[in-house]
Amino acid sequence: METLAQEIGIPEEEYREITQRLGREPNRVELFLFKVMWSEHCAYKNSRPLLKQLPKEGEAVLQGPGENAGVVRIGEGWAVAFKIESHNHPSAVEPFQGAATGVGGIIRDIMSMGARPIALLDSLRFGPLGDARSRYLLKGVVSGIAHYGNAIGVPTVGGDLYFHEGYRENPLVNAMCLGLLREEHLRRSQASLGRPIYYAGAKTGRDGIGGAAFASRELSEDKEEDRPAVQVGDPFLGKLLMEATLEAIEKDLVEGVQDMGAAGLTSSLSELAFKSGLGVELDLDRVPTRERNMGPIELLLSESQERMVLVPKEGRERELEEVFRKWGLDCVPVARTIPERVFRVLFRGEVVAEVPTEALAEAPTYVRIGREDPEIRRLREMPLPPLAANPQEILPQLLASPNLASREAIYERYDHQVGTRTTLVPGKGDAAVLWVKGTHLGIATKVDQNPRYSRLHPRLGAMHALAEACRNVSVVGAKPLAYTDGLNLGSPETPEGYFELQETLAGLREASEALGVPVVSGNVSLYNESGGRRIPPTAMVGVVGVLDIRRRAEMGFRRPGEVILLLGEEKGELGGSEVLYLLSGLEAGHPPRLDLEQEKRVQEAIRELIALGLTRTAHDLAEGGLLAALAEMTFPYGLGATVEVRTRGSEPPSGHLALLFGEAPSRILFTVDKEHLKETTFRLEEMGLPYRVLGETGGHTLTVLTPDGVLEWEVEELLAAWKRPLREVLDGQA
């Protein structure tokens, strides 16, 4: 058995641990159970000790980490379940199915909580857009998301997308889903003693066997060899399963729900039992199959999609079966909870595995020594070269750079309105806003992360990710309630990789505490590296907030003659910025400093101004700085603006460029009617926050007065430059 353990990649010390926990040698089937359950993907072996540090408590939290998704209260008896999950490795091998099944999987996590999925977001990272392979992956992933999301009828309302050298070999595809539920419908992964456990949905095949383990090792050079480990999704079946499951919950027929995701039956049943403090006896002969002669290991590890586990309430078994019959789906008892805390598996009448549930669920954890990559430190501390360029030419180029360019060509492929809840469609606001019909409640959500900041300074980068996602949610008028984190990093087994993991979590903790926003769910995807090259540490942070739907802000200038104000400091830094990369090809320098206390106050201020009805137009300053943000505000309604930018005290030419295009957090542009200007500035002064009146909306140009002269662009011309790059790739033959 020890030889087999070695062959399937179980480290020697873990094999010894297994024999110790069992008090004997494991048999072949048991060894595979440990293999998948102790994979990084399922067991968080390297991240668990670090994840413990994150704040998880909050007034709004109904369910924190540890379940299929986190849940927050939003008021009037309503709650939102949400979570982000990675599907990186499958998407690298087969982008269409990888992304599609990623979407399907996260939707099932949300419905496991008793929530109706109402929105999807996708956080995507690829290598440079100039690479043929990056374009192939981008197109495949976008098609896969559209294929699944559109058909199952859950709108894709937002996300974020970056192109960066560091993702060339390891693209990232993380999908986030939000579900809406009444508090009393909240369900968890649990069962009482002696209950039958039902298997519902698609039949089991040989697809995706070992997917969880596959996700936890470095991609091999020859990716095509990994194809059999990629699952295939069927959104039609997913839709039927979703409706049937939600109907069963609505009719109060089930006490516990669990989706069958990574590591299939093994993970869903052993975890359900473990969380319930019980054991489970699974009879593999009852599992519906669509292939012949499947062995116990195949049945236990299959990651066939569109399957759920349900525990009926006592006496409601027949009704449960009836609901699934109506939807044309299998729903059969395959297991039963038992008092002995073991995962017992029967195959052809014989016990083929019997393992304590605790031994499977509580994998050994590792605490390692991290050390910063000296190359990263060198880049961060490197003095930046002087930049000289004509701002008149920079703005259109910056807007057309892949990380700033319009995402319209992508989000047009997604149904972003099905469900009639989408209040702010993509392109209209900094965050998506969904309406809880029948109330005045709105849910705002956004996912953010900047790979350049995170690569140069993992801790600060993670802080920026949470701060920016919260800022985007605040800018539409919503109070951030909680977040989900999709942690994507390289191997923790190198000191440099472990350092980045440590620092990322330290940054999240610091920002989380300072901003008062807890984590309620998340996902960890490690080993995103090939040939020794790690991806930039990528903590994708998805924030959910709540607002009064009647008081919300969009990003676009709508009415001429409104006053434009900048809330926050008039500054901009070049370290890690897009403009630095555009002009020098460098990703270097210290990323912008972040004062979390100031960040919090700026966010509170903009929420207050929106809630008071003083502003209906607000936009956060991000990549590309002040001028890019102003240009973005002219796009939705094609209305221009004239502003004055001061460059006093800054060293030309780099200093001027930093003011115009440099990046810094805690800054928001917004507009007010002239008659509200006095009240607005009075309130900002009362709060002690810096601000400046920049100019006025109107016309069809963006006009910027600087001490060095006048910069002016036709809005149409900037808009065309901004829209072109991704249009060409998505709609053309590029």
Partner 1 sequence: MKWAIIRFPGSNCDEDARFALEKAGLKAEYVWHTETSLKGFDGAFLPGGFSYGDYLRAGALAAKSPVMEEVRRFAHEGRPVIGVCNGFQVLTEAGILPGALLANLNLHFTCKEVGVRVERNDLPFTRLYQKRQVLRLPIAHAEGRYYADAETLARLEGEGLVVFRYAPLKGETDYNPNGSLHDIAGITNERGNVLGMMPHPERAVDEVLGGTDGLPLFLGLLEEVTG
Span near partner 1 by CB under 8 A; candidates 7-15, 142-150, 171-179, 370-378 = 142-150
In whole angstroms, the minimum distance from the beta carbon of 419 to partner 1 comes to: 7
- Residue 136's region, left for phi above 0, alpha for psi from -120 to 50, else beta, is alpha
Positions in 308-367 near partner 1 (CB under 8 A): 326-328
419 binds partner 1 (CB under 8 A): yes
CB 466 within 8 A of CB 508: yes
Q: Is 412 in the site for partner 1 (CB under 8 A)?
A: yes
What is the C-alpha to C-alpha distance for residues 8 and 285, in angstroms, rounded to an integer? 26
CA–CA distance, 355 with 33 (Å, rounded to integer): 9
Length of the chain: 734
Do 489 and 534 contact (CB within 8 A), yes or no? yes
Q: Which amino acid type is present at position 375?
A: E
Smallest distance, Å, CB 559 to partner 1? Answer: 17
The long-range contacts involving 372-378, CB below 8 angstroms and separated by at least 24 positions, are: 372/496, 372/499, 373/496, 373/499, 376/455, 376/456
Residue 124 CA to residue 554 CA, distance in Å, equals: 24
Q: Which of 18, 60, 138, 146 binds partner 1 (CB under 8 A)?
A: 146
414 binds partner 1 per the rule CB under 8 A: yes
**Binding pattern for the stretch 532-551 against partner 1, x by CB under 8 A and - elsewhere:** -----------------x--
Quick one: 158 or 537, whose CB is closer to partner 1?
Answer: 158
Binding-residue total with partner 1 (CB under 8 A): 33
What is the SS3 assignment for 584-606?
A: HCCCCCCCCCCCHHHHHHHHHHH
* Orientation of helix 715-731 relative to helix 625-634, angle to 10°: 90
Please identify, using beta-carbon distances, which residue of 34 and 148 lies nearer to partner 1: 148
C-beta of residue 664 within 8 angstroms of C-beta of residue 618: no
Give the residue carrying structure tokens 């924190």.
64
| Interacting residues of 689 by C-beta distance below 8 A, sequence separation 6+ | 567, 568, 601, 602, 605
Judged by CB, which is closer to partner 1: 103, or 711? 103
Residue 259 or 415: which CB sits closer to partner 1?
Answer: 415
Query: Quick one: which segment of 62-70, 339-347, 422-430, 576-584 binds partner 1 (CB under 8 A)?
Result: 422-430
Report the candidate in 596, 593, 448, 595 with the shortest Cα–Cα distance to residue 512: 596
Distance of closest approach, residue 150 Cβ to partner 1, in angstroms:
6
Task: Report, in Å, the least distance between residue 636 CB and partner 1.
Answer: 12
Residue 185 annotated among the catalytic residues of the structure: no
145 part of the interface to partner 1, by CB under 8 A: no
Residues numbered 426 to 445 that lie near partner 1 (CB under 8 A) are 428, 435, 437
418 binds partner 1 per the rule CB under 8 A: yes
Give me the least distance between CB of 671 and partner 1, in Å please: 19
**Of positions 422, 488, 528, 697, contacts partner 1 by CB under 8 A:** 422
Minimum distance from CB of 436 to partner 1 (Å)? Answer: 10
Contact between 144 and partner 1 (CB under 8 A)? no
Map tokens 């001429």 to a residue. 560
Catalytic (active site) residue 41: yes
Told to check if 731 binds partner 1 by CB under 8 A, we report yes
- Whether 426 and 555 have beta carbons less than 8 Å apart is answered as no
* Residues of this chain that bind partner 1 (CB under 8 A): 143, 146, 150-153, 234-237, 239-240, 326-328, 411-420, 422-423, 425, 428, 435, 437, 549, 731
As annotated, the active-site residues are 41, 87
